[in-house]
Amino acid sequence: MANIIAFSNGYLCLRGKLVESTLFIDQTTGIIVSEPHDQPEEVVDLKGRILAPAYIELQTNGCIGLHFTHFKDPLTYQSNLKNVSRYMVTKGVGGFWATVPTVSSEVFQKVLPQLRPQEFAQGATLLGAHTEGPWLNPTKKGAHDSSLMLSPTGSSAVAVYGEPNVCSSIKMVTLAPELPGSLELIRTLTRDHGIVVSLGHSAAAYECGLEALRAGARTLTHVFNAMNPLHHRSPGLAGLISSPEAPFYSLIPDGIHLHPATLAMAFRANPERCILITDSIEVAGLPDGLHPGHSQIPHAQRKEGNKVTIDGTDTLIGSCSSIDECVRNLIRWSRCTLPEAVRCVTENIAKLMKDNERGVLEQGRRADFVVLSGEGHVLQTWIKGVKAYEADWLKECDFLTTVPEASQDQVDTPGQRFD
């Protein structure tokens, strides 16, 4: 029997715009439904707040102490994954792909079976794995271990990752398209295994990138980082973002990996293809200071705010920003609207990964959504129609207070800032 909840008197983030509407969900199935003929069992008054699809994390290496290359035993790993999942919902995340950077084949084949798609009670859904390596260009290694990088001509996905993992766990692979044999590897991954291929950690020229897109690649990994810089006569992979064959592309909006002006320029180039990622590592959510290395980085890591480097060097390892912070940063630095920024962590990712279950607040999709303030702060996270997180201060008040001067002229108006 249906148990319908209506979320009314608020705004929905839909395709980069705010729409004044009511959202209906069926708690029995955890699905978004059309308006029922009968009165809903419960009506939630949003009091002018905003509903958005639950955020989707495309690239995270871990957080709160777990790097996804850390493996002791299956039971401990699964327990740590559950903790990560429950931490994710506090940042508005409803689903994530666990990124495994360049490690040995032995490590890949230990951790990848644990990263098959799975759900956790009161937590974000693990959607599978994103393997960032080992087919990367050593000259653009970033914090990866170049001694573990391989050439596509002398290896295969099945040999490196293990056949069961290629068939079940891995959903995306980042590789450098200029390496010998890369184009054939792209065709194999996309055509034979249905895996999304991203281009990154690469010194490829623009023309090489086009060839890779035509071979089946669909996206770029953290544009401007670990790739040739954009040059007016040699644009490299970064030049693809506004090309006629533009791929999706990810950016790290932490203010460290990219200057705010660079972030704004890249976002404005193609907002419907832009994706925000954290590229977070295991020290995200932990105190500042020195932290031990792991299978990818056998060196101490220094955390200072959201910046993490190999101790004693300027080499950036990853970020400690959360995805909700990334959304607010994009709004602040590009002057885009909240729904435009939300699209970069929801709908655009769902389109890239061909996920028809999440990413858009429409009938038939999962009731994974967040309640946001006008400034983009996460007030609640709902997973399959069940509230999984609520900000502490909300528990002590009358659910939601009104948005200061929430104006009708901010609704469904592209290019206007909403705060």
Nearest to 277, CA basis, from 194, 345, 216: 345
Q: How far is CA 418 from CA 50, 55, 125, 415, in A?
A: 11, 19, 29, 9
Backbone angles phi, psi at 312, to 5 degrees: 85, 0
Rounded distance between C-alpha atoms, residue 141 and residue 260, angstroms: 24
Q: Which of 279, 311, 368, 419 is catalytic?
A: 279
Q: Which residues contact 392 (CB under 8 A, 6 or more apart)?
A: none
d(CA 283, CA 61): 10
In terms of Cβ atoms closer than 10 Å to its own Cβ (0-12, 13-18, 19+), residue 339 is buried
Is 92 buried (19+), middle (13-18) or exposed (0-12) by CB count in 10 A?
buried
Contact 161, 108 (CB under 8 A): yes
b/e burial code for range 177-195 (CB count within 10 A of at least 16 → b)? bbbeebbebbebbbeeeeb
What's the number of CA atoms in the CB half-sphere (13 Å) around residue 79?
A: 6
The question of whether 412 is a catalytic residue gets the answer no
> Which one-letter DSSP state was computed for residue 270?
-
Q: How many angstroms separate the CA atoms of 292 and 298, rounded? A: 8
Give residue 264's identity as a one-letter amino acid code. A
Report which secondary-structure segment, H or E, holds 56: strand 55-60
Residues known to be catalytic? 279
